[in-house]
Amino acid sequence: MGVMGFASASVLSSKLAAFLVLGLVLNLGLVCNGGKTSTFVRKVEKTVDMPLESDVFKAPHGYNAPEQVHITQGDQLGKAVIVSWVTVDEPGSSKVLYWSANSKKKTAVGKFYTYKYYNYSSPYIHHATIRNLEYNTKYYYEVGIGHAKRQFWFVTPPAVGPDVPYTFGLIGDLGQTFDSNKTLTHYELNPQKGQTVLFVGDLSYADNYPNHDNHRWDSWGRFVERSVAYQPWIWTAGNHELDFAPEIGETKPYKPYTHRYHVPYKASGSTSPLWYSIKRASSHIIVLSSYSAYGKYTPQYDWLEEELPKVNRTETPWLIVLVHSPWYNSYNYHYMEGETMRVMFEAWFVKYKVDVVFAGHVHAYERSERVSNIAYNIVNGICAPVKDQSAPVYITIGDGGNIEGLATNMTDPQPAYSAYREASFGHATFDIKNRTHAYYSWHRNQDGYAVQADSMWFFNRYYHPVDDSTSAQS
C-alpha cells in the first residue's frame, strides 16, 4: 500500500473511531440519564404486623358465621363471579343466595375444601360460582345459609367493548401491617373509586412466621374482606404464595394459596390457576406466574404463545399484563430477578403492543418509559434498553406495606428507562376513559386521599400509538 493508501486508511480509521466513541457516549446517555427520583423523604419507622387482637382481624359473630369472604371474576367475560368464604365450626352450606333489585332470589351451589399444612388444619373453605349475570348490575348475595347468614353486594362490569370506561385499583405485596391497613384505607377512600383491584402478588406473608403459620392466612382474609367481598380482586401469585418448605415436610408449592383463592383459569384455556386471562370492560388482562416454568415448551410458554394472538384489540383495546417479579427494576432489591422471563417474553409484548405491565416484588414504586431490549442475539452486542413506542410501560407497585419494609437502596445513577421512582408505600389507579386514553395515578400513603404523587396519560398502543412518555407530556 502506498503513502496515500496509508493516509486514507488513517483518516478512515480516525472517523470510525470517532463514530464509535460518539455511539458509546450516546449509549451511555441512554443508560445513565434517568428520569426523576423523588425527593420525598418518608419518616423511617419499622414496619410491624398488626396484633391478632386488632379490630381488623375480628371474626364475625354467630355460630359458624362465614368469614374471609372474597370475590373474583368467574369467567372470561365478566358475567360470572366466584364467591369464596370460610366456616370454622362445621362445613355448613356451600350455597350462595343472590339477587338483583329486579330479579327473584336464586341459588348457586359450590363445594368446600380443606387442607393440612405442617401442624395446621384449615377451616372449611367454600367456593361457589354465580353464572349468567347481567352486565352493569348491582347484585346482593348471602352466605352462611342455615347458620349465621351474612349479606354483601357487588356490581358486575359493563359489557365488553372498545369504549367502555372502567377504573382499576393496583395493589401489591400488601401483608397485614399497620402500613398495610393505611394502604387499603387509602385505596378505599380514594375519590377515583376503583371498581376492581388488580393484585400483583404477595398476599398474607404468612411464610414470614415460624413454620409458615397459616393462621396468618386466616387473619389476612378477615383483614381484606371489607374490600374484596364487595369488588373483585384479580389475583396474581407471588413468591410468598409458594409456601414451599421441605424442611417441615411441605413440598407442594402454592398449597394454601390455591386452596383459598380460586380463579377462572380454565375459561382462557390455561391448565393452571397460576396463569390465565380475563376480559373486563375494554381491557384484556393477562396474569403470568414468575415462579412457574416459562421456558420454551413449558405449559405457561405454550399458553401465552397461543393467548396473545387471540387478543382482539377492536373489542378490548387495552392489553394489560400482571406479573409478580418486575422486568425493569432500578432498585438493588431483587435486581434482575425478572431477567430470564423478560428474555423469554419481551419480544412478544412488543409484537402485540402490550399497553402496560404491572409488577410487585420490589417494596417500592417505579414507573418506566416505553422501552425494549430485544435486539441482542449473543454475537451482536446490542444489549441496552432503547425507546420503543410499541413497548409497554413497566410499573412496579410492590409498595403495599408488608412486614419486610421498604426497598430504599436504588441503583445510581438512575437509568434512562426509569421515569419515576420512590421508596414509599401506596397504591395506584388505572382509569380507562375510552379506546384511546387512560389516566394513571399513584398515591403515597402519607398524602391526602386525592393527592397524586405520580401520574401519566396513557395513549393506547393499538388505536393511538403516539409518544406518551414523561418527556413528551412535560
Average pLDDT over residues 237-250: 98
The string over 318-331, giving b where at least 16 C-beta atoms fall within 10 Å of a residue's C-beta and e elsewhere, is bbbbbbbbbbbbbb
What are the two backbone dihedrals, phi and then psi, of residue 421, each rounded to the nearest 5 degrees? -145, 145
Average pLDDT over residues 117-145: 98
Residue 10: burial class (beta carbons within 10 Å; 0-12, 13-18, 19+):
exposed
Look at the alpha carbons of 291, 295, 299, 301 in this order and tell me if their dihedral is positive or negative. positive
Could you tell me which residues are beta bridge partners of residue 322?
A: 287, 358
Cis peptide before 232 (omega within 30 of 0): no
User: Residue 83 above 80 pLDDT?
Assistant: yes
Q: Tell me which residue of 74, 401, 364 sits closest to 220, measured CA to CA.
A: 401
Written as nine digits, the cell of 7 is: 493516509
| Torsion of Cα atoms, 396 then 400 then 405 then 407, to 10° | 10
Q: How many CB atoms lie within 10 A of CB 423?
A: 23
What pLDDT does residue 425 have?
A: 97
Rounded to an integer, what distance in angstroms lies between the CA atom of residue 207 and that of residue 363? 17
Residue-wise pLDDT for 191-228, tens only, equals 999 999 999 999 999 999 999 999 999 999 999 999 99
Average pLDDT over residues 223-243: 98
Phi-psi region of 381 (alpha: psi -120 to 50; beta: other; left: phi over 0): left
What are the two backbone dihedrals, phi and then psi, of residue 342, each rounded to the nearest 5 degrees? -60, -45
Rounded to an integer, what distance in angstroms lies between the CA atom of residue 132 and that of residue 80? 6
What pLDDT does residue 35 have?
A: 83
User: Residue 7 above 90 pLDDT?
Assistant: no
Residue-wise pLDDT for 305-332, tens only, equals 999 999 999 999 999 999 999 999 999 9
Average pLDDT over residues 9-30: 38
Q: How many CB atoms lie within 10 A of CB 457?
A: 12
User: Residue 138 above 50 pLDDT?
Assistant: yes
| pTM of this structure | 0.92
What pLDDT does residue 39 have?
A: 80
Could you tell me which residues are beta bridge partners of residue 429?
A: 169, 441
pLDDT band for position 16 (50/70/90)? Answer: very low
Residue 153 and residue 71 in contact, taking contact as beta carbons nearer than 8 Å: no
What pLDDT does residue 44 have?
A: 64
What pLDDT does residue 79 have?
A: 98
What pLDDT does residue 299 have?
A: 98
Written as nine digits, the cell of 177 is: 401491617
Residue-wise pLDDT for 334-367, tens only, equals 999 999 999 999 999 999 999 999 999 999 999 9
Say what percent of the chain tops pLDDT 70. 91
Residue-wise pLDDT for 426-459, tens only, equals 999 999 999 999 999 999 999 999 999 999 999 9
Written as nine digits, the cell of 372 is: 425494549
What pLDDT does residue 18 have?
A: 42
Q: What angle do CA 73, 77, 81 make, to 5 degrees?
A: 25
What pLDDT does residue 269 have?
A: 98
Say what percent of the chain tops pLDDT 90. 88
Rounded to an integer, what distance in angstroms lies between the CA atom of residue 440 and that of residue 454? 8
What pLDDT does residue 46 have?
A: 77
User: Residue 24 above 90 pLDDT?
Assistant: no
Please state the length of the chain. Answer: 474
Sheet holding 276-280, edge to edge: 36-37, 418-422, 365-368, 393-397, 356-359, 318-322, 283-287, 276-280
Rounded to an integer, what distance in angstroms lies between the CA atom of residue 354 and that of residue 319? 5
What are the two backbone dihedrals, phi and then psi, of residue 268, each rounded to the nearest 5 degrees? -105, 15
Average pLDDT over residues 78-95: 98
For 103, residues 6+ apart whose C-beta sits below 8 A from its C-beta are none
Residue 294 and residue 361 in contact, taking contact as beta carbons nearer than 8 Å: no
Segment (H or E) for 321: strand 318-322
What pLDDT does residue 9 have?
A: 40
What pLDDT does residue 337 have?
A: 94
User: How far is residue 248 CA from its own chain's centroid?
Assistant: 30
Residue 48: burial class (beta carbons within 10 Å; 0-12, 13-18, 19+):
exposed
What pLDDT does residue 168 have?
A: 98
Most confident stretch, 25-29, 45-49, 183-187: 183-187
Average pLDDT of the chain is 92
Written as nine digits, the cell of 79 is: 358475567
Average pLDDT over residues 80-103: 97
Catalytic residue among 70, 126, 262, 334: 334
Question: Active-site residue 334, yes or no?
Answer: yes
Written as nine digits, the cell of 156 is: 358486575
Residue-wise pLDDT for 374-396, tens only, equals 999 999 999 999 999 999 999 99
Residue-wise pLDDT for 147-199, tens only, equals 999 999 999 999 999 999 999 999 999 999 999 999 999 999 999 999 999 99
Dump the DSSP string for 130-171. Answer: E-SPPTT-EEEEEE-TTSS-EEEEEEPPPPP-TT--EEEEEE
